[in-house]
Structure 1
Amino acid sequence: MITHPQATAATVPDPDEERRRIQTARLLAYRDDGPLVALLRDKMGPGLPPVPAGLVSLLAVVVIGVTGVLGDGAGTGPIMLLPVLVMMALMIPTAPRDHLGRFDWLVPPLIRGTEFLTIIVLGIAAGTPKWLLFVLIYVIGYHTYDTVYRTRQSIWPAPWVFQAGLGWEVRLLLLGVGAALGVLTWVVAVMSVYLGVLFAIESVTSWVRLDKRTALAQASDDLEASPEDAMEQATGEADKA
């Protein structure tokens, strides 16, 4: 007697749970956290509410910049670390949150906006050339745009990219230390070159690999097509030509 094997019922993921998982993964990718956040994330308990912390962080950096406490054009010393430490103290503890709140989509732009503003405040206070600050902001902005565009196409950057890219927290910490030591211009220049090369090469190679996989998949589909379909497709392309 021949019996057929019983088919095991496939586990179908809950659509709402899958949507929440993808939403959280996207927002965490858009945050662009680096190695320091990865090291501390599991050691901070539930963490701080991200949106209020982000708003307070942005406001604090604005106040620091407007009041001119860092100096104007030749600032050095430990005071230059103030905006960096304020942002790190408020935003690193938000990393453990699930980012599923109604307004948690604001967290990545708050982080990026505060990061850019901190770069500008430090650069102006230390007398760094404005065009060089623009280059660094452009490079980080390109990385952010590339991450957003890729994830919307269901193409996720490799985790090592965020670690190698230092994350917003390590980038700002290095800039703050450079400003405190009076060498911010050199730190900005080296960081711009390093991040520019890293993000450009990783992005281009990823898209090239995607194009190759798409071409191979298309070739496989063409091989599986019937002779009649292939002839019809060839005839249609000839008519268009």
Structure 2
Amino acid sequence: MITHPQAAAAPVPDPDEERRRVQTARLLAYRDDGPLVALLRGAMGPGLPPVPATLVALAAVIAIGASGLLGDGTGAVMLLPVVAMLVLVIPTAPRDHLGRFDWLVPPLLRGAEFLTVILLGLAADTPKWLLFVLIYVVGYHTYDTVYRTRQGIWPAPWVFQAGLGWETRLLLLGVGAALGVLTWVVAALCLYLGVLFAVESVTSWVRLDKQASPAQASDDLEASPEEAMEQATGEADKA
């Protein structure tokens, strides 16, 4: 009797392991780390606990803002909140973000980023509407990322690098504030990020819609004439 070798069954992924992988990927995407974090991640070892470090960074930014140290013409002092964010939050990037409260890291990080933008902008007399536009653009990018990942659609990795990440954006703003050109830096970021995020988001959703259309058309063609008539009659009755 001749027996034919059977192909080995594909290994079934562990559901818990898959859940952990997806959770880590989502939270890392929500962090919106950029090129500076990508450059330093491999050299930071295990990293700092994400939630405590981010909370301390947020508290440091609040304390610096309340101290009255920031102001137009104070030079390098304007870099203080940015340095606090970079020193405390960048080392949290290597962690897997699987802790019980690690889901708090993205909102804490985004809140600290926005607060730093506001403090620097007000201290440097940057037009408030321009600060609002920058916060809106970054907020839109965050919302788009969250919505996409919840639909199982992941933004391309290059988007986060091209979007500069929270750390590079803050570094540019801090340097601009220290040099007295923050308004120009904010305006440039608004223009660049606004175009980047809007064009990438729209083209991605349009491409996804085009990919879904043939499948929908195929489903419609598979319906029998009787089913199509019943569906049309039901819709007419509802109308």
The reply to whether TM is greater than 0.5 is yes
Corresponding residue of 2:45: 45
Farther off after superposition, 209-218 or 93-102: 209-218
The Cα of 1:218 is off from its aligned counterpart by 0.6
List gaps (5 residues or longer) in structure 2: none
> Which residue pairs with 2:158 in the alignment?
160
Asked if 1:189 corresponds to 2:199, the answer is no
Q: How many Å apart are 1:14 and its aligned residue?
A: 0.5
Q: What is the TM-score normalised by the length of structure 2?
A: 0.94
Q: Which residue of 2 aligns with 1:67?
A: 67
CA RMSD of the aligned region, Å? Answer: 1.7
CA deviation profile, 1:182-232 (whole Å, cap 9, x unmatched):
000000011011111111111111111121122111112223344544454
Q: Is the 8 A contact 1:76 1:181 kept in 2?
A: no
1:76·1:126 contact (CA, 8 Å) conserved in 2?
Answer: no
State the one-letter code of the partner of 2:73.
G
Match of 2:131 among 130, 133, 139: 133
The answer for the alignment partner of 1:123 in structure 2 is 121
Q: CA deviation at 1:235?
A: 4.6
Change (3 A) 1:99 1:176: same
Q: Are 1:75 and 1:125, in contact at CA under 8 Å, matched by a contact in 2?
A: no
Percent of pairs with identical residues: 83
The corresponding residue for 1:175 is: 173
The one-letter code sitting in structure 1 at the alignment partner of 2:34 is: G
Deviates more, 1:149-158 or 1:223-232: 223-232
Alpha-carbon distance between aligned partners in 2 of 1:129 and 1:76, rounded to the nearest angstrom: 18
Q: Paired residues, what number?
A: 239
Q: What secondary structure, in the 3-state scheme, does the structure 2 residue paired with 1:51 have?
A: helix
Shift of 1:10: 2.1
Residue in 2 aligned with 1:22? 22
